[in-house]
Amino acid sequence: MTSKIYLAVLLWCLAGAVAAAWGEGAPQPETGCGGLMTELECRVHQETLARLPAGQERERYLKQHQALLAEREKSCRCQNIRAANSKTAK
């Protein structure tokens, strides 16, 4: 009986280590930028959004930004990054 409990705990710890190694258990930064931007690009993007008032200039910037991210997503074939980020955000 004791050996079964020991084995169960050992397997549970092993599964946790494997999940952490694959990045599923690692905490993700709460920047909202996803995996297609560097930390610097994310910071500049957030500062730009904070600086721009609502209106045409802000909308134009957001369209350009979305186009850039869409191009990066196509070029790296990493369409599942957004899905992975949305899973960790929940």
DSSP string, 37-55: S-HHHHHHHHHHHHHSPTT
Answer with the residue of higher pLDDT: 5 or 22: 5
Answer yes or no: pTM beyond 0.75: no
Model pLDDT for residues 62-86, shown as the tens digit of each residue? 999 999 988 888 887 665 555 555 5
Pairwise CA distance, residues 25 & 88, whole Å: 9
Answer with the residue of higher pLDDT: 76 or 31: 76
Pairwise CA distance, residues 3 & 23, whole Å: 30
Contact 36, 86 (CB under 8 A): no
Percent of the chain with pLDDT over 70: 52
Query: Is 25's pLDDT higher than 50?
Result: no
Contact 33, 42 (CB under 8 A): yes
